[in-house]
Amino acid sequence: MPESIRFLSEKIASPLRWLWLSGLLIVLDQWSKAAVTARFEMYKTLRVLPVFNLTLAHNTGVAFSVFAHGSGWQRWVFSALALVVSVVLVGWLRALPRHAHLTASALSLIIAGALGNMFDRLRFGYVVDFLQWHWAEHYFPAFNVADAAITVGAGLLILESVLSSRGHRAGG
């Protein structure tokens, strides 16, 4: 195989190829936030299902609005943290073996979520949330596509860890 083709095939086979998923989810996240922001008034609710609403909310904090009442420092600290975490995860992704598809997809999801929310913080000073699950009068805090990507990515990392430990136990 010619050297240039071998180099190209190694690059394509790299776990970094999973960054397409990050890019796609960042675009979907930003598009969905813009669409909801353009069509909804703050806290106006549209019932989609008996247990699911669309409602526009702004979160200056992090998960579950923790630190939402800070003096503005959280915008810069959480943006910097998202950037550092994303750089570290890209490094981890790059170091993965080619066959580590579950871990690579999980890291790509987390990167997408971190950067999607970082873009909101830098542009607006808050994160746009709009997805809301509830049961009767019990409401889960509103979230967005980026938050869902982080959650699914973290779940996949846990799953991979469990599957990996079972495989080591069964083999050893």
Measured CA to CA, the distance from residue 137 to residue 54 in angstroms comes to 16
**Catalytic-residue membership of 29:** no
Distances (CA, A) of 139 to 66, 128, 142, 166: 16, 17, 8, 36
Tokens of 38: 């353009």
Q: Give Cβ neighbours of residue 73 (< 8 Å, ≥ 6 apart).
A: none
C-alpha radius of gyration, the chain, whole number: 19
Q: Could you confirm whether 120 is annotated as catalytic?
A: no
Which uninterrupted H or E stretch holds 36? helix 19-39
Of 26, 93, 116, 147, the active-site residue reads: 147
**Cα angle at 65 between 73 and 59, to 5 degrees?**
70
Q: Is 40 helix (H, G, I), strand (E, B) or coil?
A: coil
Task: Please check whether residue 104 is in contact with residue 14, taking contact to mean a CB–CB distance below 8 angstroms.
Answer: no
Q: Which of 62, 110, 116, 129 is catalytic?
A: 129
Q: What is the rounded distance in angstroms from the CA atom of residue 170 to the CA atom of residue 152?
A: 27
Looking at the annotation, which residues are catalytic?
129, 147
